[in-house]
């Protein structure tokens, strides 16, 4: 069966730094890609009341994630940094475990710098920017969870 993983690499792909980060290059996202974010955001937000933890909802609010379009990390990171000292960094896709844990230990959350296609609306195998930013980043605005994730990263590095 043909691999569906198109954002998996053994070594940092061309253009990526040694720590696998790349520029978010936010200006390059198309109107369709921003619209996909908005569509996903609307669907998932509707499901949060009664399901998501208070800290998650607070994170959405503190980080102003309700602002339409794929978040521009220049703005998002200013809010996240002020809240807990964390930042989101763009990566081409899945990164090796040691790279991932090292980023977490240093208060950097790697987010895949692409967004799913309409055919992948309900599910995709690789974490895209919506999965990573909407799914994981709100909790990083919570000081207790933010520190826990650093310890988790350090534990991953040690293991
Ligand atoms: Fe995830």
* Secondary-structure percent of the chain, ordered helix, strand, coil, rounded to 5: 50, 10, 40
Q: Average of pLDDT values for 48-52?
A: 95
Q: Report the separation in Å between the CA atom of 136 and the middle of ligand 1, taken as the mean of its atom positions.
A: 7
Q: Average of pLDDT values for 46-66?
A: 97
C-alpha to C-alpha distance for 148 and 146, rounded to whole angstroms? 5
Tens digits of residue pLDDT in 120-159: 999 999 999 999 999 999 999 999 999 999 999 999 999 9
Q: Report the separation in Å between the CA atom of 133 and the middle of ligand 1, taken as the mean of its atom positions.
A: 9
The reported pLDDT for the residue numbered 117 is 95
Tens digits of residue pLDDT in 78-121: 999 999 999 999 999 999 999 999 999 999 999 999 999 999 99
Q: Report the separation in Å between the CA atom of 82 and the middle of ligand 1, taken as the mean of its atom positions.
A: 23
Q: Report the separation in Å between the CA atom of 126 and the middle of ligand 1, taken as the mean of its atom positions.
A: 9
Name which of 13, 19, 29 is nearest 116 in CA terms. 29
Using the predicted structure, report yes or no on whether residue 69 has a pLDDT greater than 90: yes
Residue, of 75 and 9, whose pLDDT is higher: 75
Q: Where are the domains of the chain?
A: 39-158
To the question of pTM greater than 0.85 for the whole model, the response is yes
Q: Report the separation in Å between the CA atom of 12 and the middle of ligand 1, taken as the mean of its atom positions.
A: 20
Name which of 78, 90, 86, 80 is nearest 25 in CA terms. 90
Q: Report the separation in Å between the CA atom of 58 and the middle of ligand 1, taken as the mean of its atom positions.
A: 19
Distance between the two ends of the chain, CA-based, in angstroms? 33
CATH fold for domain 39-158: 1.10.800
Using the predicted structure, report yes or no on whether residue 19 has a pLDDT greater than 80: yes
The reported pLDDT for the residue numbered 4 is 57
Q: Report the separation in Å between the CA atom of 111 and the middle of ligand 1, taken as the mean of its atom positions.
A: 9
């Amino acid at each position: 069966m043909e691999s569906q993983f198109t954002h998996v690499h053994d070594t940092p792909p061309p253009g990526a730094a040694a720590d696998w980060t790349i520029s978010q290059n936010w200006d390059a996202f198309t109107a369709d890609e921003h619209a996909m974010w908005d569509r996903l955001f609307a669907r998932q937000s509707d499901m949060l009341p009664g399901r998501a933890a208070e800290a998650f909802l607070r994170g959405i609010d503190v980080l102003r994630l309700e602002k339409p379009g794929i978040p521009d990390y220049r703005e998002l990171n200013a809010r996240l940094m002020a809240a807990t000292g964390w930042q989101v960094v763009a990566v081409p896709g899945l990164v090796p475990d040691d790279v991932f844990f090292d980023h977490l230990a240093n208060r950097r959350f790697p987010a895949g710098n692409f967004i799913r296609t309409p055919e992948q609306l309900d599910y995709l195998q690789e974490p895209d920017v919506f999965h990573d930013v909407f799914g994981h980043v709100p909790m990083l605005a919570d000081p207790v969870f933010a520190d826990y994730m650093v310890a988790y990263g350090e534990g991953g590095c040690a293991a």
